Amino acid sequence: MNIIVVGLNHRTADIEMRESLAFPGERLAEGLEGLLSTEEISEGIILSTCNRVEIYSVTSGVSDGGRRIKTFLSAFHGIPLEKLESALYTYEREDAVRHVFRVASSLDSMVLGEPQILGQLKDAYSKALAMKTTGVILNRLVKKAISVAKKVRTETRIAENAVSVSYAAVELAKKIFEDIHTKTAMLLGAGDMAELAARHLLKSGVKAITVTNRTYERAVDLSAEFKGRAVRWEDFLKEMLYTDIVICSTGASGYVFTDEQARRLMKERRNKPIFIIDISVPRNIDPAVNEIDNIYLYDIDDLQGIVDSNVLERKNEAEAAEGIVEKAVETFLVWERSLEAVPTIVEIRNRAEVIRREELEKIINKLNGMSEKEKKMVETLTASIVNKILHPSLAMLKEEIDPENRATYIYLVRRLFGLDSEEDIGEDN
Amino acid sequence: MDITFYWITLSLYFISALLSIAYIFRREGILFKGSLAFTAFGFFTHTLSIVIRFYESSQIPITNFHEAVSFFSWCIILIFFSLEYRYRIGLLGSFILPFVLILLLSSSALPSEIKPLNPLLRSYWLGIHTVFIFLGNAAFALASGIGIMYLIQEKYVKSRHPGGLFERLPSLQILDEVNYRLITLGFPFLTLAIISGALWAEEVWGSYWRWDPKEVWALITWFIYALVFHVRLVSGWRGKKAAVLSIIGFASVLFTFFGIRFLIKGIHIFE
């Protein structure tokens, strides 16, 4: 019984390789089926995202499960093994457990602490559940991985701050305005970056977006995409009166919005706060504007600066997260070791013996005045009842159970005798 | 008995102030909840202490400076809790509770024994006038606390390299709103306090207004807050300037309350 992870990610394989090994949704069932029909593989999950393809499996054999999975990958995708070899990594036992926990906690992600991976893992798991390709061990592994990931998320600040320019802009907007849902945004110019930022704002709930551009047609096209309104270039200053957030990227070579215009605007707005993001290079908005009360101006370098320091902070937090993962790996390994026959048999015997002793003492105390002989007889009686009840199940554990199912049997027996409870798994749903 | 509860309150507020300061440096929920819990418990014992004192002396316990400061801090906590309930401005406690502790500590240094009431004060006006004043002052205290938070947050946003408490402070918009709302709450109380004071003065001294230093400063304070309304409504001031004005206003409140008592004195001191 052995946990094995085989896979590749954004560090070991380029996008082409990742694409060619991916399991798109419609082929996932087929993939899981193929994986499970591979010799000695008793459990399997396939995690396929744009940054990684990984196979989590349990092999019943002792050696070379990794090779079997690689061969399966190569055959499934019709790519010669030699071409794959350099991109694939293999983790076994403890290392495999640690890897799965780190992936779930987003410690192995391209963007440290990004939240999507946990959802992707949950999806992969539920697909595997639907196909019934998981068993006791992977069930526990994934559940534990999910709870570790949640713990990392709540106990460290690894997912705290924005690590992309667009998100950083949204975060800032939320510190200027209480409720972004009641605010409107305007695109001044229609560069790609501005478009991206506008999309993020819209996703974060901005009420409406207007677009203005030197060529009016482009503004109309883009505004249609955001279900917004197009405004003629000549009117943008007027429009700014009713806008809370402005994203500017016009490609002009000088300032399109000057200090003087800003002062006039604020007067007319009666100092209603306005958040201006100038992502154009060279800058299109006079930086002096930031000195005016209730105008908050950020340029692309400011936003990048925020992102950089947030990335650094996430790296620091990652250390704490690794500690949490390490602890969880240990707990998991303890549990995994308990899935062996001998310690389980000993535990069951001990538990039965404790119960027998307690009950025996009770009855002897109640019937005080029992002779030594009588006590001995009751003692023998109880011992033999316990033994007879336990015998068949313990005998079954001792026998050579089919290794494919051993973990399941032992797990079941442990649950039946109350050695493990569901809480030990650390589920928190 | 009332003094026992008073000291219990002081120790509870001491702990809650320490926790709230620690919460600035360590972002742990337990510190925040702990400081709220100790404050709530302290507010309870404080209330008991005031009520017992009321029964023991059978007069509203705002008759000397010790009692006045103590009641002032009671009002601040009262409004603090209603704000916390309504807006949940997590860090507000860290700005307010240490101030309340200082208030209460300074009142503890003042003579607290119950003395026969100055005959001049024996009037139903005493309760009306003082309760209005301290409710107003408490609202202004919180407004200036919120104003300080606004200035800090504004500095972070304007710096273009937000860090420190940036994430944990609420949005500028809500700070500005709450600041204004508190002044809207405090201003009528201050106005009523001045009017009731004038009516009372007429009763005992025969004239409504005698240009006593306390009266003058109360009027100055009133004008400062009136100015807040004026510039907000007429000139559309908000944010930074309004926050600064609310802090100046509270400085004037503090001077009217403490400054006059210790620096200038006048007929308005009754001890």
CB < 8 Å to B177, chain A: 178
CB < 8 Å to A176, chain B: 157, 171-173
Angle between helices B172-205 and B65-87 (to 10 degrees): 150
CB < 8 Å to A174, chain B: 171
What pLDDT is attached to residue B28?
85
What pLDDT is attached to residue B267?
64
The pLDDT-based confidence of A426 (bands split at 50, 70, 90) is very low
Active site residues of A: 50
Rounded distance, CA A160 to CA A149, Å? 14
**Interface touch A273/B173, C-beta < 8 Å:** yes
For chain B, give the percent of residues with pLDDT over 90: 65
A293 touches chain B (CB under 8 A): yes
Q: What is the DSSP pairing of strand A245-248 with strand A208-213?
A: unpaired
Rounded distance, CA B42 to CA B61, Å? 18
Beta strands in A240-390 (DSSP E): 245-248, 274-278, 295-299
Does residue B61 have a cis bond before it (omega within 30 degrees)?
A: no
Rounded distance, CA A165 to CA A171, Å? 10
Closest-CA residue to B105 (of B223, B212, B6, B250)? B6
How many Cβ atoms are within 10 Å of A36's Cβ, its own excluded? Answer: 18
CB < 8 Å to B174, chain A: 178
A296 touches chain B (CB under 8 A): yes
What's the gap in Å between the CA of A177 and the closest CA on chain B? 5
A263 touches chain B (CB under 8 A): no
Burial class (CB within 10 angstroms; exposed 0-12, middle 13-18, buried 19+) of A11: exposed
Helix (H) or strand (E) holding A151: helix A136-155
Residue with the larger pLDDT of the pair A230 and A429:
A230
**Interface touch B166/A175, C-beta < 8 Å:** yes
What pLDDT is attached to residue A428?
39
Rounded distance, CA B252 to CA B259, Å? 9
Mean pLDDT of A63-82: 89
CB < 8 Å to B169, chain A: 175
CB < 8 Å to B239, chain A: 271, 273, 293-294
- Report yes or no: B138 and B113 within 8 Å, Cβ to Cβ: no
The pLDDT-based confidence of A135 (bands split at 50, 70, 90) is confident
Question: DSSP class of residue B120?
Answer: G
Rounded distance, CA B58 to CA B60, Å? 7
Rounded distance, CA B158 to CA A168, Å? 15
**Interface touch A175/B157, C-beta < 8 Å:** yes
Rounded distance, CA A112 to CA A314, Å? 7
Segment B161-220, tens digit of pLDDT: 888 888 889 999 999 999 999 999 999 999 999 999 999 989 888 889 888 888 899 999
What's the gap in Å between the CA of B170 and the closest CA on chain A? 7
**Interface touch A176/B172, C-beta < 8 Å:** yes
Q: Which of residues 342-361 of A touch B (CB under 8 A)?
A: none
Q: From the candidates B26, B146, B160, which should be mutated to test the interface with A, based on the most A CB atoms within 10 A?
A: B160
**Interface touch A175/B238, C-beta < 8 Å:** no
Mean pLDDT of A316-331: 92
Q: Nearest-5° angle of CA A399, CA A405, CA A410?
A: 65
Compute the mean pLDDT over every residue in chain A, rounded to the nearest whole number.
88
What's the gap in Å between the CA of A235 and the closest CA on chain B? 24
Does the pLDDT value for residue A294 go beyond 70? yes
Does the pLDDT value for residue A166 go beyond 90? no
What pLDDT is attached to residue B269?
64
Chain B residues with a Cβ under 8 Å from any Cβ in chain A: 153, 156-158, 160-163, 166-167, 169-174, 177, 236-241
What pLDDT is attached to residue A77?
92
**Interface touch B240/A306, C-beta < 8 Å:** no
Residue with the larger pLDDT of the pair A394 and A146:
A146
What is the biggest distance separating any 2 CA atoms in chain A, rounded to whole angstroms? 110
Select from A172, A175, A271 the Cβ nearest to the Cβ of B238: A271
What pLDDT is attached to residue B77?
96
Does the pLDDT value for residue A62 go beyond 70? no
**Interface touch B162/A305, C-beta < 8 Å:** no
Could you identify the residue written with the tokens 């883009």?
A: A222
Rounded distance, CA B7 to CA B67, Å? 13
Segment A189-198, tens digit of pLDDT: 887 777 888 8
Segment A108-120, tens digit of pLDDT: 988 888 888 999 9
Rounded distance, CA A263 to CA A257, Å? 11
Question: DSSP class of residue A182?
Answer: G
Rounded to 5 degrees, what are φ and ψ at A49?
Answer: -125, 180
Please report the DSSP string for A369-392 in residue order: T--HHHHHHHHHHHHHHHHHHHHH
What pLDDT is attached to residue A345?
84
What pLDDT is attached to residue A427?
41
Does the pLDDT value for residue A429 go beyond 50? no
Q: Find the length of chain A.
A: 429
Q: What torsion do the CA atoms of B243, B244, B245, B251 make, to the nearest 10 degrees?
A: 110
Q: From the candidates B157, B165, B169, B180, which should be mutated to test the interface with A, based on the most A CB atoms within 10 A?
A: B157
- Report yes or no: B207 and B198 within 8 Å, Cβ to Cβ: no
Select from A176, A298, A306 the Cβ nearest to the Cβ of B173: A176
Spatial neighbors of A3 by CB under 8 A, at least 6 apart, are A56, A57, A58, A92, A93, A96, A97, A137, A138, A141, A336
Select from A178, A271, A309 the Cβ nearest to the Cβ of B236: A271
Select from A172, A174, A294 the Cβ nearest to the Cβ of B239: A294
Q: From the candidates A293, A314, A316, which should be mutated to test the interface with B, based on the most B CB atoms within 10 A?
A: A293
How many Cβ atoms are within 10 Å of A342's Cβ, its own excluded? Answer: 9
Structure tokens of B14? 């001491």
**Interface touch B160/A175, C-beta < 8 Å:** no
How many Cβ atoms are within 10 Å of B172's Cβ, its own excluded? Answer: 26
- In chain A, which residue's Cα lies nearest the Cα of B235? A270
CB < 8 Å to A309, chain B: 161, 163
- In chain B, which residue's Cα lies nearest the Cα of A308? B161
How many Cβ atoms are within 10 Å of A159's Cβ, its own excluded? Answer: 21
- In chain A, which residue's Cα lies nearest the Cα of B166? A175
Rounded distance, CA B27 to CA B49, Å? 33
Q: CA end-to-end span of chain B, whole Å?
A: 23
How far is residue B20 from each of residues B35, B94, B96, measured CA to CA in Å? 6, 5, 9
The pLDDT-based confidence of A12 (bands split at 50, 70, 90) is very high
Segment A366-410, tens digit of pLDDT: 887 788 888 888 889 999 999 998 888 888 777 766 666 777 778
Does the pLDDT value for residue B60 go beyond 90? no
Mean pLDDT of A345-371: 86
Q: Is A52 strand, coil or helix?
A: strand
Predicted-complex ipTM score: 0.88
Does the pLDDT value for residue B225 go beyond 90? yes
Rounded to 5 degrees, what are φ and ψ at B84?
Answer: -60, -40
Angle between helices B2-25 and B29-57 (to 10 degrees): 160
- Report yes or no: A97 and A141 within 8 Å, Cβ to Cβ: yes
Rounded distance, CA B200 to CA B188, Å? 18
Rounded distance, CA B72 to CA B130, Å? 9
A177 touches chain B (CB under 8 A): yes
What pLDDT is attached to residue A422?
58
